Amino acid sequence: MYGGWKRAVVTGGAGFIGSHVCERLLAGGSEVHCVDNLVTGSRANIAHLSGNRRFCFVETDVTDPGSIEAAPDRVDLVLDLACPASPVDYLRLPIETLEAGSNGTRTALELARRDRARFLLASTSEVYGDPLEHPQSEGYWGNVNPVGPRSVYDESKRYAEALVSAYRRTYGTDTSIVRIFNTYGPRMRSDDGRAVPTFIRQALDGDPLTVAGDGSQTRSLTYVDDTVDGILSLAASGRPGPVNIGGSDETTVLELAERIIGLTGSASTIAFVERPEDDPGKRRPDTTTARRLLGWQPRVDCAEGLKRTVEWFARSLTP
């Protein structure tokens, strides 16, 4: 069991990654309090956990300081995953996204401070923006447009990292920061706008796969099980971070679309569409720190991970 935590609070626990984190903590013997306002999360993601007596779901908004009152006494671990994470969501919910990174993170930090609990912020590769360094190491400060449309997410996470660091320096709170790169797998929403679920849905429906620009921009994908391993390994390590957690197999968006067409056996074609503003040209983490400090590296290769994900979507999208 990671860390031997008796009681954990997971904000954003009904989301894609959050639900997998809750599941893993329960399997390790922890009591889990899942907090989510269901703006982008779903009860369906945690429905299979509802019969577990060590699992409790609280529907509340973590940006409300009063939500801390719903937390149980003597928390050992606080995992802050509450934030819209896909472009479709954070462009639709810009203020809510900024609130999640500011007031939401502070509420979660206050809970950890109250109980002297371990705290982990789920940050993102988007703090690097459209990077001028490749691959991106934790020491790289990024290339972010602070007033562009993506800034609501990028800057909310950069602010959250600064807030977490200030709590560590000022109050001695036991904090850590994980920077999560592109993660995929079961329980992603088919309409969340990210490349993998969008391409799978389009391929299964026989629609053209919409590739932004010429598709030469790159992404490094990580299967959700490996991402959860990285999150919980960092939480258990006592290290402050930041630590990159992400895949090392870099692929172009066009290559990804073609692989998904092949995996689904679809007759879909490729349709090139306008590339979004500030869309990163390259994305691949330097995971030297994760390997050295945590002994972490991805175990599920892209071929196997995409196969599992396609199978899950094929089942979940069947009427």
Instruction: Give ∠ CA 229-60-80 in degrees, rounded to 5.
Output: 30
Q: Can you count the helices (H) and strands (E) in the chain?
A: 11, 13
- Contacts for 196-202: CB closer than 8 Å, 24+ residues apart: 196/221, 196/256, 196/260, 196/306, 196/309, 197/313, 199/256, 199/257, 199/260, 200/260, 200/264, 200/309, 200/310, 200/313, 201/313, 201/317, 202/268
Tokens describing residue 71: 């937390």
The active-site residue, picked from 153, 167, 184, 223, is: 153
Separation CA 173–CA 187 (nearest Å): 32
In terms of Cβ atoms closer than 10 Å to its own Cβ (0-12, 13-18, 19+), residue 48 is exposed
b vs e for 195-215, b when ≥16 Cβ sit within 10 Å of the residue's Cβ? bbbbbbbbbbeeeebebeeeb
Is residue 186 a contact partner of residue 129, using CB atoms and an 8 Å limit? no
* End-to-end CA separation in angstroms for the chain: 38
Is residue 153 part of the annotated active site? The answer reads: yes
SS3 15: coil
The residues assigned a catalytic role are 153
